[in-house]
Structure 1
Amino acid sequence: MTRLRRFRTGCGSTAGCLTSTLRRGSGPIDPYCGVASVTEAWVRIEGWLRRGAPRSAAILAGPATRESILAAEDEMGMALPSELLESLLSHDGLTEWAGFLPEATPLSLKEIVEQYLMRMDVADHVDGFTVHSPNTESWWNELWIPFADNGGGDLQVIDQRPGPQRGRLGLASHTDAADFEDAWPSLTAYLTAVADALEHGGAVGVWRPVTEEGALRWELAR
């Protein structure tokens, strides 16, 4: 793999707080430092799951560790986005695969690294970094950070390219060009929409939550 190099992707007060805590190498990581919107959304989701879908609540993994985050950043050659750090410091993915969120299942830190490095390697060999007409996006970009997997090989990614849409969520297909047409503006916005749908009813995009035998799943809204 030839394109991998170190990027800085974090920004804002939360990123500065989390990053400085990670780099100090001592003391607990506080996911509530700065603005903790992702953390707050996870707290709401967890609370609802404990009450309404305990089987799903039971498969939430614990938080990622300081050491594992730093090792992952070194392996990927970049600092993780601040919102993704917040999410990983709440839950390092799931203990087993499930249709837990409406669009894709959150990845563990280990899976994020594996998926990122695999995409970087494949893109190098198939001209996957180039935008081919009539597409408006490439197959992969070195500043797309995996967040979740839809189970079919497509990744929900956080777009860290500079500009006003930085931080949006899109879908990186395993066969076609990526799609940001219906992108959530941020991971915070997406997880907050999930929490709202669970607590108050309604849909997240085209998906609505249903429970069955104590487990949460999502189905197309009619």
Structure 2
Amino acid sequence: MTVDVDLPDHIRARCTELGDGVLYAVRTLARQLADDPRLGERAGRLGLYTATIDSDTFDACPPLIVRYAYGPPLLEADRVEIRDVEATGPLPHAGEEQAPAPAPDPRMRQIAARQVTEAWRRITGWLEQHAPATHAALLPGASTHEIGALERALGVRVPAELRALWLLCAGCEDAPGAGVMPGHGWALMPLGTVAASYRRHRDDQRQPGVGWGGDDSTVWKPSWIPFCSWSVTDISFGLFLDVETGNVGHWDDTSVRTVGGQTLSVLLEETADKLENPQLATGYLPGLIGGRLVWGPPLAADEAALWERFTG
């Protein structure tokens, strides 16, 4: 019997960053895991495994470590979720001289902030019409004073895109259906939770043995600002914005952190596109349970029985 293997969007983006052949190699591994989910080695915690990919097997692919979860207590018995992909050797063209990155253009930041504003208004317009319970869970926007206070608390300047979002909505209430972003319930974090999450991640750096062995994937950089979590109260999984690159990253309950290739404005625009054009949606699909948005199909059996896919 085969099992379902989930290759999340942020992992696909990570594979694309690592090299042209990485996504193909990881997809090949995913097909193998569907037949044999215990193919990898246990990673010291129930339900967590690591598998290796030899660079000689695939073109344009460095040697890789792939970390995944299988079955209870983290997932259903017949599911695998790939959670991290790490290169353990040189990347293709790693020895070639790279041109320095251009300085950020203030005009481009203004454009990105405008894109965030437009995409968020599309999202909230859809919620107000189709998922009023989720719309009601959104908090009002923060003031510039509140965002400034958060910047001082973190010691990091909030980029224009995230500032634009928080000026419109400063998080969600702790209520069913508060998750807006595609996934199993990504909820916007209130600013107080943002600060608490940031401090927790930074404090973890001072503790030995955190994560998967102290490699770079467990490091939390000062430039990473969390903004979404599994729920308002459960911050063991979440999304952060890398201030230096403008890209969205992901962390999980194993302390593994990865940065993808997607900006906040693109994330919001794709969310709005999935809601407005559900027939074209792939991956997590928009659905409804009692007036609240639930991306699915849900994993929990009770939610799955009530979930209705939104088709427009």
TM-score normalised to the size of structure 2?
0.54
Structure 1 residue aligned with 2:285: 208
Opposite residue 193 of structure 2, the aligned amino acid is E
Q: 1:146 aligns with which of 226, 231, 244?
A: 226
Greater strand share, structure number? 2
- Give the CA deviation at 1:122: 1.9
Query: Which range moved further: 105-114 or 212-221?
Result: 212-221
**Counterparts of residues 48-127 of structure 1 (less than 5 Å):** 48-97=126-175, 98-103=178-183, 104-126=186-208
After superposition, the Cα gap between the structure-2 partners of 1:34 and 1:199, relative to the gap in structure 1 and judged at 3 Å, is closer
Structure 2 residue aligned with 1:13: 107
Aligned residue for 1:210, secondary structure, equals strand
Q: Which residues of structure 1 form unaligned runs of 5+?
A: 1-9, 18-32
Structure 2 residue aligned with 1:158: 241
Aligned residue for 2:218, secondary structure, equals coil
Opposite residue 123 of structure 2, the aligned amino acid is I
Aligned residue for 1:126, secondary structure, equals coil
Contact 1:129 1:138 in 2 (8 A): yes
- Give the CA deviation at 1:177: 2.1
Q: Which residues of structure 2 form unaligned runs of 5+?
A: 1-103, 299-308
Opposite residue 49 of structure 1, the aligned amino acid is L
Contact 2:142 2:169 in 1 (8 A): yes
For residues 69 and 167 of structure 1, the distance between their equivalents in structure 2, rounded to whole angstroms, comes to: 18
For residues 75 and 204 of structure 1, the distance between their equivalents in structure 2, rounded to whole angstroms, comes to: 39
Q: Deviations over 1:91-115 (max 9, x none)?
A: 0001224233223211111111111
Q: 1:193 aligns with which of 270, 277, 282?
A: 270
Count of aligned residue pairs for this structure pair: 189
After superposition, the Cα gap between the structure-2 partners of 1:34 and 1:56, relative to the gap in structure 1 and judged at 3 Å, is closer
* Higher RCO (CA < 8 A, seq sep 6+): 1
Contact 1:139 1:172 in 2 (8 A): no
Q: Percent same amino acid among aligned pairs?
A: 26
Structure 2 residue aligned with 1:41: 119
Aligned residue for 1:145, secondary structure, equals strand
For residues 277 and 165 of structure 2, the distance between their equivalents in structure 1, rounded to whole angstroms, comes to: 22
- Give the CA deviation at 1:126: 3.0
- CA RMSD, Structure 1 to Structure 2 (Å): 2.8
